[in-house]
Amino acid sequence: MQDYIVELPLHTIRLELQDKEQTSIEATSLPLYIDLHHELWELMQCLEQYRHEVEKMQSLVKEIGMAFTAMETEARKYGSLAGFSDEEAAQLLSLDETGTAKIPLQQLQSLIQHYSALVDRYTNSSGYHDEVYKVLEEKRERFDQSFGNYWRNCFSPMLNDWSVIQIDALSLDRDFEEFREIAYQSDVLYEQLVDDWNAMCEEARETDRKMKLLDPHLKCISNAINSPHFGSQNPGLN
């Protein structure tokens, strides 16, 4: 017997070699097993990158939700969300004796701009997320194929006849069990991240639905501000 040390990206393994001639399966097995470790390591790195993107987008969607709530609260000061005519809005927003709007417009304008900027960030970030997710799926598919190939062509044949195998059965089997557990945990993490992403997308869609309901109200305010009933000294909502 002699020890055979193999440096792998996930850990270092020690295999015991028996005094037998190496079989063709073994000649194929160890290089494939090393490649499999590298592929799983790359997959885990990509999963961490994807986790970062999901967490970043989750935080951004929370910001968008808070920005919408602030904007909606401010917009309610200008009348019911059920809507009103431009003339009625103009009366509500009429100028005081100094020529200033009774309800200041700057705050609403600022909130709308902040909300719009966050939505733009979300749109741009979604594109990058899609790129990361595409790479992740490619690595997952490649790893699944490599794992299946190793199992069918190397590990399973060795399990069927350890007597002709040079590498000690227990040491290789033990490491492969640990390897499969790491691979399983990567699957669990992937499913969790996909669930988190889908939940975040639903939250974003809900905010978008609310915005569609609020948008006519904002347009009504804008029309009223720019109507002749209101006067020209007040800035419109752009």
Using a pLDDT cut of 90, give the percent of the chain over it: 38
* Rounded distance between C-alpha atoms, residue 101 and residue 107, angstroms: 12
Q: What is the pLDDT of residue 219?
A: 78
pLDDT the model gives residue 233: 36
In the prediction, which pLDDT does 20 show? 67
Asked whether 15 and 172 are in contact (CB, 8 A), the reply is yes
Across the strands, what pairs with 95? 101
Average pLDDT taken over every residue of the chain: 79
Read off the pLDDT of residues 84-136 as tens digits, 9 standing for 90 and up.
565 665 565 555 555 555 566 678 888 889 999 999 999 999 888 899 999 99
Write down the residue that tokens 């006067």 correspond to. Answer: 231
The pLDDT assigned to 1 comes to 57
Q: Which tens digits make up the pLDDT trace of 137-179?
A: 999 999 999 999 988 888 787 777 666 566 655 566 677 888 8
Whole-model pTM: value is 0.74
